[in-house]
Each structure stands twice: as structure tokens, then as C-alpha cells.
Structure 1
């Protein structure tokens, strides 16, 4: 089956909020900066901005009509002039990992939105780093990588042109 990317309408924000909690729970394995809220949910505090700030675009990753993940994309005018796109957050449910579906989603995104990109991974998240390196190799993408501290976390940042 083929994945599709669907822009998340504001009416489905609650679904994305639930997926973000799962994503942040997974990400909490690699950082001490994420804590569960008093209500037992990890909160993506800036999530509402994706419907109020120009240049923030949320996408569901769907397979056969089912939501299996999401991409939170940064675009212009939100971004400065050196990048056209930034993959802010990328998540696939565990049961769909290792099946090539995440790769399909990224490949589809790159076909639909071409330009200068950056992708950030928490340096401790070896699985994410390996995934992105595999993407770059399979798509023959030449990247420039650097390290930086973002929100008190050591991160790897790759920039590249599609």
C-alpha cells in the first residue's frame, strides 16, 4: 500500500494532539526536558500555532485511510531566507516502523515540496539519525551536517536541497 500525506484540518487537531503525546512520550527516551502533564498526557505546547501562524503546516501520514503518523513542516514565511522547509517533527506509530512507510512519506513530501531543507534530530535518538541517513543515501541527497544546542539538547542538523 501507498501512504498519502493529508493536511490536518483544524477540526482534526484533537487527533494530532493525541499523536503528538505519543511522539513526545517516545522522544522522552532521549531527553530529560519532556515531562508528562498532570493529566497524564505529554503536551505539544505550540501545537495550536500550526493553525494560526503562516508557514506552519501539519500533515497526517495515512495508509489505507488510517492515520499512522504525522509530519510538522516549517515553511516560509515562518522560516528565514536560508531555508524553504524544515521538518520540525516526524512520527510513525511503532507497528508501522521498519516497513518502508516512513520513507514513502518523506519521498512524497520531497516530490511535492522542493527547495532547501533542514532536519533536526536529538543526538541521543540513534534510531532517528539512522533513519534520516538511510533516506539521504537512498535518495542520493548530499547533506551538510552540524551540531547545535537546541532547547538545552545536543542536536544534529542536516541541511540539503531537493
Structure 2
């Protein structure tokens, strides 16, 4: 099985955009009936009711391809097929002291549970050197995600990382920090 990560361009941005609603739907299972994690009145997983179609949502995501050298949208490929994505942000889209932030990370259901996500995350981490940060939901509904990130970051750093739970720009989160 060949696993790779590919930095996307505007020419293949649509692939990540096609998977993004699946990612948001997946996240809703980790948060339950919390505002912001439910579809709006048009059936779109976005806070604003201004988004009536998936095209509206696509347009909002264009920032990932408009800010080269600042935002990095990676496609995860398995045997040359789209399997997920990783959206990596750099300053000014990070907390102070953070060089690289895992904004979103997603793997489609058929590819889960066999090491692909961990391998892909490590490939992404290897793209850049510096101080990394990522968040995940600290609730009991997300034990699988917490376990995944704890294991992945621990394996990648040989156990040299910080884990905490606390406030972030996106609410209370489990926070992982490490340097490579």
C-alpha cells in the first residue's frame, strides 16, 4: 500500500472541498447537539445560515489556496486515491510561539484503523521543522481521536510532547504541543 501526502493547488482543491462536508459530519459525532456542530437550516454544516449550498461552503475554503507559504492544504493519498486531508496553518494563523498548527485532519472511514492516518500525520510533520500544536475535542465522545493523537504524537516524538486541556481560540480543547 502506497501512502503519500501531496500539497494541493487550486487545480485539485476540489478534492479536499468534496471531502470537507464529510469531515464536518464526522466531527458532529464528537460534539453532539452543540451549536456550531449541527447543520444550519439549509443542511450545511456551518455556523452561518448564509451558506445555502455546498458551493457557498467551497468558496469560504478558498483561503487555503489563496495564502501560499502560509496555509498548506495537503491531500492524503492511498494507492493514488484520495483518502483524506490535512490542513496546516502557520503564523499569523497560529497561537504565539507556534510555527505549525494542524487546523484540520481527516481520513475517510474505509481507510481508518490500519495505520494510514498515523503514517500520513508523520509525513505531514516531516514537511516542516519547528513548534507544532494541534487540538482535539476533550469529551468522552472523542476517546478514539484523543487516543489516536496521543499515540501518533508520542510515537513521532519518542514521548517528548506536552498534552493539556484548556481554553483555545476554538473553545476548550485537548492540546498537543511538540517540536521536531
**Which aligned pairs between 1:5-154 and structure 2 lie closer than 5 A?**
5-31=5-31, 32=34, 33-43=36-46, 46-54=60-68, 55-79=70-94, 82-124=97-139, 125-139=142-156, 140-150=158-168, 153-154=171-172
Once the 2 structures are TM-superposed, how far is the Cα of residue 93 of structure 1 from its aligned partner?
A: 0.6
CA distance 1:152–1:115, shift in 2 (3 Å): closer
Once the 2 structures are TM-superposed, how far is the Cα of residue 111 of structure 1 from its aligned partner?
A: 2.2
Cα distance in 2 between the residues matched to 1:37 and 1:9 = 29
Once the 2 structures are TM-superposed, how far is the Cα of residue 10 of structure 1 from its aligned partner?
A: 1.3
Task: Please give the TM-score of this superposition, normalised by the length of structure 1.
Answer: 0.88
Count matched residues. 162
Cα RMSD, aligned residues only: 2.1
Task: Please give the TM-score of this superposition, normalised by the length of structure 2.
Answer: 0.80
CA distance 1:66–1:129, shift in 2 (3 Å): same
Unaligned runs of 5+ in 1: none
Pick the structure with greater CA Rg.
Answer: 2
Cα distance in 1 between the residues matched to 2:151 and 2:101 = 18
Unaligned runs of 5+ in 2: 47-56
Once the 2 structures are TM-superposed, how far is the Cα of residue 135 of structure 1 from its aligned partner?
A: 1.0
